[in-house]
Structure 1
Amino acid sequence: MFIVMLRFTEHMAKAGEFMEGHKAWIAQGFADGVFLLVGSLKPNQGGAVVAHNLSHAELAQRVNDDPFVAENVVSAEIIEIEPARLDERLHFLDTSD
């Protein structure tokens, strides 16, 4: 499981130019079953994505395809988490089986 931090850069004013492409990128991530959650970092710092069902390398490629990343509107950091304990509602995230 991964958390992707998308922090605004000094080019954040360009976000409007690439918003439709960024929204399409998000929609594709959900359609592909990779994104579990997408949200804003408050206050106005960027966004975050929780992703699963792919490798680090596959996620890195997907993140690089985000127009916000490609156009340097945000910088991306991918954080990998290996769950050690899960609430039963999140059992589908357990990859230890």
Structure 2
Amino acid sequence: MFIIQLTFSDNKSQAKDYMEGHKKWLQTGFDKGIFVLSGSLQPNAGGGIIAVDVSKQEIEEIIAEDPFVIENVVKSEIIELTPSEADERLSFLLDNRF
């Protein structure tokens, strides 16, 4: 499992120019079952994603395809997490241990 932090760079003002492509990229991740959660970092600092069922190399390749990353609107940080315990509402995440 991976936690991806997308922090706005100095090119933050260009986000509106690439938002449509970024949203399509996110939807592709959800459609493929890789992304299980995404949202905004507050206050207006960027975004975050939780990804499952991929290797480190695969998630690096996927993140590199984000228009926000390509155009340097955000800087990405990929954090690998091996879950060991979860509330029963999130127990499905325990099945995704790499």
Q: TM-score range by the shorter chain?
A: over 0.9
The count of corresponding residues between Structure 1 and Structure 2 is 96
The aligned counterpart of 1:24 is: 24
Matches within 5 A, 1:1-97: 1-94=1-94, 95=96
SS of match in other structure, 2:4: strand
Instruction: State the 4+ residue runs in structure 1 displaced beyond 6 angstroms.
Output: none
Q: Which runs of 5+ in 1 are unaligned?
A: none
Q: Which amino acid aligns with 1:30?
A: F
Deviations 1:40-86 (A, max 9, x none): 00001000001101001100000000000010000000001001111
TM-score by length of 1: 0.94
- Mapped to 1, the partners of 2:91 and 2:39 lie a distance apart of 22
Q: Give the TM-score taking structure 2 as reference length.
A: 0.93
Instruction: Please state how far the C-alpha of 1:91 moved relative to its aligned partner.
Output: 2.3
Distance 2:21 2:7 in 1: 17
Task: State the distance in 2 between where 1:21 and 1:48 align.
Answer: 17
**Structure 2: how far apart are the matches of 1:86 and 1:13?**
38
How large is the RMSD of aligned CA atoms in angstroms? 1.0
Deviation at 1:90, TM superposition (A): 2.1
